[in-house]
Amino acid sequence: MQWNRGIRIVAACIALATAPALAADRSLKVAQGECKKGEQALRSGDAAQAKQHFEKCREAAPGYPSAELALGHLAMADKRYADALASYQGAEVGYQKYGAELKDAETKRYAETQSQIASLRDSINQLNAPATTAGDAALQISKLQNAIQQLEAIQPPRNDGGVPGEVYFYIGNAQFQLGKLDDAIRSWETCVERSGQFAMVHNNLALAYWKTGDLERAVTNLELAEKEGFPVNPQFKTDLFKAAGRNPS
């Protein structure tokens, strides 16, 4: 199905995060090669093999962001949140370490991301076609739209070549799962500062601020998440607005 192809594209893109062609140094070429093998393993559904390749990438070039982010995603899927946090923080250091080279690679990554988004939107258009069976179409469209939102979080190349905001989104997710609520809020706020519009991080901040009792900030972030197109949980919105003495619109 067209939808399945679209989801495979998303999985590869998110796992890739960034796969820079870093120039002459042999260790970096080895790292790039291992990351590509890891991505291929992910596309074939072999997470264990992918993990081995990403770990070899890390060995060849410690802190290589592609490997660290991918290993972080795999650890989150396995609920190994401490490992995930360590990998995401390793990616943060890696972006600082490889700065200039990664900046050059971001241009290519961003172009590829836009192509993936266009492909997913084509899939949605096909699912919206009159001939499409209505049964699963709505669910498939919702998943594709969520996938597009994740890809849209990837920003155009930055002038400073610094750490992308989405890295702090992932760091915050791991911290939240580890019960480090204040740390998660700081990380997600850093994501907002660096990434601008990023609907998912506002949704997460709404939940986090609700848990801390800061209802006004929680409401503000939930409204921003909705404004930016995130499908917020209706029950969460109702409960939050009720607690804040507000009427959900």
DSSP state of 163: -
Q: Output the pLDDT for position 100.
A: 67
Q: Please tell me whether residue 96 adopts helix, strand or coil conformation.
A: helix
Residue in the structure block whose two tokens are 């850093």:
190
Based on C-alpha coordinates, what's the Rg of the chain? Answer: 19
Q: Which domains are assigned to the chain?
A: 2-152 (1.25.40), 165-243 (1.25.40.10)
CB of 62 within 8 A of CB of 91?
A: no
Per-residue model confidence (pLDDT) at position 171: 98
- Cα–Cα distance for residue pair 17/166, rounded to 1 Å: 10
**Of 4-8, 94-98, 196-200, 242-246, which one has max mean pLDDT?**
242-246
Supply 212's token pair: 């801390």
Tokens of 167: 């890295």
- Helix-, strand-, coil-residue percentages of the chain, each rounded to 5: 75, 0, 25
Whether the pLDDT of residue 7 is over 50: the answer is no
Q: What is the pLDDT of residues 72-89, one digit of tens each?
A: 999 999 999 999 999 999
Q: Any long-range contacts for 110-113 (C-beta under 8 Å, 24+ apart)?
A: 110/154, 110/155, 110/156, 110/157, 112/13, 113/13, 113/151, 113/154
Which stretches within the chain are classed as H helix? 2-16, 26-43, 47-60, 65-77, 81-127, 134-152, 165-177, 181-195, 199-212, 215-227, 234-243
Which is more confident, 225 or 131? 225
Find how far residue 125's CA is from the centre of its chain.
24
**Cα–Cα distance, 121 to 115 (Å, whole number):** 10
Q: With cut-offs at 50, 70 and 90, classify the pLDDT of residue 14.
A: very low
- Give CA 4 to chain center in angstroms: 19
Place of tokens 């804040």: 244
From 2-16, 83-97, 163-177, the region with the lowest mean pLDDT: 2-16
Highest mean pLDDT among 98-112, 136-150, 192-206: 192-206
- Checking if the pLDDT of 185 tops 90, the result is yes
Give the largest CA-CA distance in the chain: 60
> In terms of C-beta density within 10 A (0-12 exposed, 13-18 middle, 19 or more buried), how is residue 62 classed?
middle
Structure tokens at 180: 């480090």
Residue 20 has pLDDT above 60, yes or no: no
Q: Which of 68, 60, 55 is nearest to 94 (CA)?
A: 68
